[in-house]
Every structure is written in C-alpha cells, then in structure tokens.
Amino acid sequence: MWTMDTKTVRRIRRNGQHYSLFFIRPKACTDVHRYAEKLASRKNVAEVMVTTGECGFIVKTKGKELERQTEKDPILAKSSYKRISSYYQYKR
C-alpha cells in the first residue's frame, strides 16, 4: 500500500485460516488468572485475552467450536458467551 506522505510501500498479508472469537462473561468473584488458564488449556484455543467491562474474556479458537470438557461445564454456560466467526485476518 502506498502512502502519500512517505512514498514507501507497506505489505499487508492476508491469512485465510478460519477462527472463531468467543466473548465470555464470567460469573462474579471469578479468579481471572485461573479462569484464563483453564480457557487457554482447551483444545483448539489459540489465544485468550482478558478484558474489562461486560465481556471479561475474548477467546480465539482455530475452527468453529470451543470444545466442552463436560456436559455441565460452568465455564461455557450458553448464556455466558457469544461467538463470531473470522474468515480473514489482515496484518502488517
């Protein structure tokens, strides 16, 4: 991409790997570090971000699902998360 100011070329790379982003709202009085480590230890999890506000964690997974370890998994109650899909990533 050309910029008018510096006349330099910057390369933008496109990654076509499919990712899903889960926005997770934890229960009150949750140990943030322990919860993040549990999320990060799950299969297909690429990244866990701790955030402020209503959404406490953003979990980036390879593929479409965040695997449940048990049927009654308190980390992933259906009312505690929202999922969006990412089909492309653009990076410098």
Which tens digit of pLDDT belongs to each residue from 56-70? 899 998 876 665 555
Q: Is the pLDDT of residue 34 over 60?
A: yes
Residues 6+ apart with CB under 8 A from 38: 75
How far is 86 from 4, CA to CA, in rounded Å?
31
Looking at CATH, the fold of the domain delimited by 15-91 is given as Alpha-Beta Plaits (3.30.70)
Evaluate whether 86 touches 20 at the Cβ level (below 8 Å): yes
Q: Is the pLDDT of residue 4 over 60?
A: no
pTM of the model: 0.69
pLDDT at 65: 65
Which tens digit of pLDDT belongs to each residue from 6-21? 566 678 888 777 888 8
